[in-house]
Amino acid sequence: MFDQLKNLGNLGDLMKKAQEMQDQVRKLQEELAAKHVTAEAGGGMVQATVNGRMELVKLRIDKGKIDVNDTEMLEDVIVAAVHAAQARAADVIREEMQRKAGEFGLPPGVLP
């Protein structure tokens, strides 16, 4: 029974390391939030830019490529551009989190 308690001495070290990892992940999340990712849809008709929090921060519509009488198509292209930018941002976030997990010696997918 006491043999299992021997490793409790390492508990403080484990807790310290976990706190350091948590701090580094929080810092990485802040850095990612500041990144901007842009994607376009409709052959460049619409460009959407999102940040690392998946928030839309900019939307550009090329007036020379739109038909003002076809607002339904414009709405669809806007949604597609925003979705594409969010998907790209998610890929960037996933790659950075996997890189950070590797630095910690953790398997991919462990970090949020």
Rounded CA-CA distance 112/106 in Å is: 12
Q: Work out the pLDDT band at 111, boundaries 50, 70, 90.
A: low
Decide if 69 is inside a domain.
yes
Domain that includes residue 68, residue range: 28-112
Q: What CATH number is given to the structural domain containing 69?
A: 3.30.1310.10
Decide if 12 is inside a domain.
no
Residue % of the chain over a pLDDT of 90: 50
Residue 3's identity, in one-letter code, is D
Decide if 47 is inside a domain.
yes
CB atoms inside a 10 Å sphere around CB 46:
25
**pLDDT of 1 strictly over 50:** no
Q: For the chain, count helices (H), then strands (E).
A: 2, 3
Q: Work out the pLDDT band at 32, boundaries 50, 70, 90.
A: confident
Judged by average pLDDT, the poorest of 1-15, 22-36, 38-52, 79-93 is 1-15
Decide if 79 is inside a domain.
yes
Decide if 15 is inside a domain.
no
DSSP letter (8 states) at residue 73: H
Decide if 8 is inside a domain.
no
Rounded CA-CA distance 62/1 in Å is: 72
User: Per residue in 58-68, pLDDT tens?
Assistant: 999 999 999 98
Greatest distance between any 2 Cα atoms in the chain: 79
Decide if 9 is inside a domain.
no
Decide if 7 is inside a domain.
no
CB atoms inside a 10 Å sphere around CB 54:
15
Mean pLDDT of 91-103: 87
For the question of whether the overall pTM of this predicted structure is more than 0.85, the answer is no
Q: Could you write out the DSSP letters of every residue in 54-88?
A: S-EEEEEE-GGG--TT-HHHHHHHHHHHHHHHHHH
- State the total domains in the chain: 1
